[in-house]
Structure 1
Amino acid sequence: MLQELMLNLKVISILTLVNSFLLVYYIIPKISWVIISRNLNDTPDSRSSHSISTPTMAGFSFYITLIMVMFFIQYFDTENIGLNLIASSTLIFMVGVKDDLVMSSPRAKLIMESLATMFLFFNSAMEVTTLHGFLGIYEIPEIIAYIGSVLIAITIINAYNLIDGIDGLAATVALVIFSIFGLMFFVLHQYFYFLLSISLIGMLLAYLVYNFSSKKKIFMGDTGSLLIGFCIAFLTLKFIAIDVSNYNFFSFKPENGLIFVVAILCIPIFDLFRVIGVRLLNGNSPFFPDRNHSHHILIDNGMSHFKVSMLLGFINYAIVIIIIWLSSIFNSVVMIFILMMVFGLFLVVFDVLGKRIKKKKIK
């Protein structure tokens, strides 16, 4: 009876969403109490958009909930990828905890992120064998697929980590991403990945209750942003590994699968490359901290944290819808050009907004 209940997709979907929400909602106050009592609050600096010390490391609740969810959705894990995900997530979680407590070097973080990603490749379900004609490329060598997958994962993890700078933004963008992936995996009948997306949505909704609170505020910290970023990377690699050409209900051409992935991740990816470009043009290291992120620029132009989060989340959804529509019409070469135009518009808008801030400071 119980096993039949756990195999009912509708029932387990609801339970996964509700339980993930309730677990995070229950655990976060306990984390806040420990952080405050041990004086481990996040102290604002010159780059911070906050003025008071605030508890952090809400990612603890994400990790605990993720492990619990893996147990309850194991019946849908037909590819036996759950154990790989737990092992990889544990490595990422360890890096995040260390970074929140004593700071990790960029090199150490990259090494651990690469190792965590490679753990996933011990399962054949994550193998990427073809690009479905992207730029005329079909079959790719195994070593190239592994290296490319690691680079994609590292880029996604760190791009997501960098947008966690104001209340609600990281969680809102992740909600957009997981909702789209959840829909895609549901349509693909990949129910384990659909349920994982549902669980992450529940976690982030509970986190937002506290993150937007004025009295019980907490940050996810690197413990959370690295873990959520890794989960995004995991779902991205899985989507790329699926042979979408077998599913004729997709409106976009199979060769545009990578384009579609970039569209889903557009806000963190666009912001990452824009910030790196600005830092290099200013003669600084790509790892040099500053206030040139898109959310900092919008905040400095007078928008609230909530409005910035909602605006960038809406832009992310809008770009996905536009790219899906265009990907059903044009080939990958044209779609790359379109993506470059969208990115160019992104650059121009934030360059104008950045110059407006500088003019205000001069006055």
Structure 2
Amino acid sequence: MLLFLLPALIAFAMTFAIGQLLCKPFFAQYFLAETGGEKLHKTAVPASGGIALFFGIFCTALAFEGDYLIRNHLYLLLGFSAMFLLGLVDDLKSLGWLPKLFFQILIISLVVIFADLRLQSVLLEHSFFQIPYYISVILSIVLLTFFTNAFNFIDGIDGLATTVALLFILGLLYFQIPFSSVFLMCVGAALFGFRRINKEPAALFMGDSGSLFLGFLCAAFLIIFIEADLTASNTRLESYQQRLPIIVALFWYPIFDTIRVLIIRILSGTSVFKRDRLHSYSLLLRVGYSHTQIVILVVFLTLIQVAAVLFIEPKIGLTVFFLLQIVFWLLLHLFLNLLIKNFKRRNLKK
């Protein structure tokens, strides 16, 4: 058992140790995050946690399972590394949204083509649809870009993005994704180690080097989980079609928050790339929730949705379940709006 857990223990220790080192003034001075304006933090904190996460994960995973990972997932690993380097460059000197998006799409396109990381089929209510190759490539690039940036967008308060990624990875391990368990354990353990430094009040942020790397990693595993071999047995799920709602439930918060903000910006006529405080975590902070309370709320709602997939979806079917999911997200949006209206009303009375 100890030998099985050894990679995770090393990944935890390495990430935590590197993270503590990056908090020292000598290293922190190169990565101090901006404060004020639309930023939610008022004190300068180094945004270099992605370095600790990347090396904690990769050094450990390659040391224990390097031959297997390189032989079977070389292009995927190169894609993760390229996304980390893109984020690291942006942390050191801001690239602007357009160049950063261009390089993201370039990296993702190369991984989709060379690693054949594609959404190739859709299974709905026991109906199987095969997606034509070129449509599959374009759709996969769009989805991977969206999910990568959706994760990047939620990295705005202490511990939130770290916890969402950790829940996602633990969910993949529990629901038996067909990928290296050693690599996944290293990711989970590294996130646990980083969480010790990133929880409220955070001593270290993950920065774009971490959020782009982890966002792309989660997005890639999302497709791998959905596209698992139809013949692969899974004792955790009642049917193959539960893969899609399970993965949506595990990654629901970045999807919900990003879609919500994009729709609001489009309807208001503002740029979809404009930085603002429309994100749900920003609204909750304004009405008095702490960083820790918001993280707990997201965890609680994630577990509820996963439980709903396991116990309710088999009884009502996939189509009805997703309709209920949309209704739930809409009600959550209305609840957030109501909180803000009540908050403004109370302030006007003062």
1:196 to 183, 203, 212: 183
Indicate yes or no: 2:102 matched with 1:111.
Answer: yes
SS of the aligned residue for 1:131 comes to: strand
Q: Which residue does 2:130 correspond to in 1?
A: 139
TM-score w.r.t. length of structure 1:
0.87
Separation in 2, partners of 1:84, 1:294: 35
Q: Which residue does 1:170 correspond to in 2?
A: 161
Q: 1:354 to 1:323 in 2, by over 3 A?
A: farther
SS of the aligned residue for 1:160 comes to: helix
Indicate yes or no: 2:220 matched with 1:227.
Answer: no
Q: 1:132 to 1:47 in 2, by over 3 A?
A: same
Indicate yes or no: 2:310 matched with 1:324.
Answer: yes
Name the amino acid aligned to 1:123: A
Displacement, 1:233? 0.9
Q: Which residue does 1:362 correspond to in 2?
A: 348
Separation in 1, partners of 2:71, 2:306: 30
Q: Which residue does 1:123 correspond to in 2?
A: 115
Uncovered stretches (5+) of structure 2, i.e. residues with no partner = none
Q: Which residue does 1:309 correspond to in 2?
A: 295
Runs (4 or more) in structure 1 with deviation over 6 Å come to none
Q: Which residue does 2:195 correspond to in 1?
A: 208
Which residues in structure 2 correspond to 1:272-311 (within 5 Å)?
Answer: 272-311=258-297
SS of the aligned residue for 1:81 comes to: helix
Uncovered stretches (5+) of structure 1, i.e. residues with no partner = 1-9
Separation in 2, partners of 1:115, 1:327: 37
Q: 1:255 to 1:191 in 2, by over 3 A?
A: closer
Q: Which residue does 1:3 correspond to in 2?
A: none
Q: Which residue does 2:229 correspond to in 1?
A: 243
Task: Report if aligned partners of 2:226, 2:243 keep a CA contact under 8 Å in 1.
Answer: yes
Q: Does 351-360 or 164-173 show the bigger shift?
A: 351-360
Q: 1:310 to 1:60 in 2, by over 3 A?
A: same
SS of the aligned residue for 2:155 comes to: coil
Displacement, 1:119? 3.6
For residues 284-342 of structure 1, the C-alpha deviation after alignment (integer angstroms, 9 at most, x for no partner) is 11111111111111111111111111111121121111123233233332222122112
Task: Report if aligned partners of 1:156, 1:229 keep a CA contact under 8 Å in 2.
Answer: yes
1:96 to 87, 95, 98: 87
Q: Which residue does 2:56 correspond to in 1?
A: 65
Separation in 2, partners of 1:334, 1:316: 19
Q: Which residue does 1:7 correspond to in 2?
A: none
RMSD value over aligned CA atoms?
A: 2.4
Q: 1:269 to 1:76 in 2, by over 3 A?
A: farther
Q: Does 231-240 or 40-49 show the bigger shift?
A: 40-49
Displacement, 1:135? 8.6
TM-score w.r.t. length of structure 2:
0.90
